[in-house]
Amino acid sequence: MKTNGSLILLRGLPGSGKSTLANLLSENGKYPMYSVDDYFTDAQTQVYHFDFKNNHVAYKQCEENTKEAILKTIEKIFIHNTFTMDWELEPYFKLAKQFNYSLYIITVEKYHQHKNVHDVSDEQLQKMAEKYKIKLY
């Protein structure tokens, strides 16, 4: 059965290169890219200001943007979030199933020396890494 498109989730710790890879795979924005970070980034200045109390709103906005793109039957849609816990993936599993999209999950690993642009501490990165689950089968 033919699908309506592909929903591609890029997951990894902050600084792993998710956003850079999403931009590359989306052919420099030919296909939409969404992230929780979009909510915290000023569209005009591109300045990022994270506020944990609005994190749930950011997650919802990312899901809604994805659903809008799906409703337009866009061929490829990229979501680049940390996705360290299963509950973060679930809404996208449901959207893919509901709208007959193929779902792909790409885990981005950090093999470079760049720091994360959000200044997440090494301690916090370690905590995130401990929660991170990869299902290979």
**Which tens digits make up the pLDDT trace of 65-85?**
999 999 999 999 999 999 998
| CATH number of this structure's domain 5-131 | 3.40.50.300
CA-to-CA distance for 100 and 122, rounded, in angstroms?
Answer: 39
Cβ(35)–Cβ(79) below 8 Å: yes
Angle at 96 between CA 83 and CA 26, to 5 degrees: 65
pLDDT of residue 137: 67
Mean pLDDT, residues 14-32? 94
Q: Answer for the pair 21, 80: CB distance below 8 angstroms, yes or no.
A: yes
Helix (H, G, I), strand (E, B) or coil at 101: strand
In which band, very low, low, confident or very high, does the pLDDT at 136 lie, cut at 50, 70 and 90? low
Mean pLDDT of all residues in 119-123: 80
Query: Confidence band (pLDDT; 50, 70, 90) for 33?
Result: very high
pLDDT at position 1 is 73
Domain layout of the chain by residue ranges: 5-131
